[in-house]
Amino acid sequence: QSALTQPASVSGSPGQSVTISCTGSSSDVGTFDLVSWYQQHPGKAPRPMIYEVNKRPSAVSYRFSGSKSGNTASLTISGLQAEDEADYYCCSYVSGGTYVFGTGTKVIVL
Amino acid sequence: EVQLLESGGGWVQPGGSLRLSCVASEVTFKYHAMSWVRQAPGKGLEWVSGISGSDPGTYYAASIEGRFTISRDKDKNTLYLQLNSLRVEDTAIYYCAKDRGGKVDTGMLDSWGQGTLVTVSS
């Protein structure tokens, strides 16, 4: 199972919106609405931000939203803030009880 | 609040073995699946293995090629990962993570430990 494809980096100024894409295949993202997103700051454990494509855990800011179209899922961060600078990973369920992560995207706040 | 604490990492020579442990507090294993996820230095996350909560189902990434074994002790609330035939490319931080549901099929790992570092080198 190959890793899902994400852009290496995206950037934006404070207050702007950025969108991170996550491209998989009909074996994972395209078939299952079981895509999650994780934020990881340097030296820290990943933190879940989105699950089931577009649901937010209660502690996550409304500025984070998810969507999916075909084999591509997306994470949008609106009203970009300095503390949003981090690495972001998508993850999808794959049939047979396995998961696959994306390649990761570094969000840079200019 | 769920707490996951990994241990057992360290330095090992290629071909060697290690057993990682993850003690979980405020987690009832029979209700939640658990996974191991690793991250090589400066690299991305890689799902390694998962185990169901209510049934004995175990699952592995193809890249593991039968070298690792996941298990759990419900009485001790502890998750394990036995690493055998270790390779240099297995060097990574190994995280244990709790699944949102009872099986490895929700796509959501909602609690993570801080990880334990495994270094494979001669």
Using CB atoms, which residue from A52, A87, A97 is nearest to B108?
A52
Average pLDDT for runs of 10 along chain A of length 110: 95 97 95 96 97 95 97 98 98 91 98
Beta strands B92-99 and B34-39: pairing type?
Answer: antiparallel
Interval B78-96: pLDDT, tens: 999 999 999 999 999 999 9
Using CB atoms, which residue from B45, B59, B108 is nearest to A101?
B45
Closest alpha carbon within chain B to A38: B109
What pLDDT score was predicted for residue B53?
86
B27 pLDDT above the threshold of 80: no
Mean per-residue pLDDT, B54-63:
88
Q: Across the beta sheet with A18-23, what order do the strands follow?
A: A18-23, A72-77, A64-69
Question: Is residue A35 within 8 Å of A92, Cβ to Cβ?
Answer: yes
B61-B68-B89-B32 Cα dihedral, nearest 10 degrees = 60
Q: Could you tell me if B52 lies within 8 Å of chain A, comparing CB atoms? A: yes
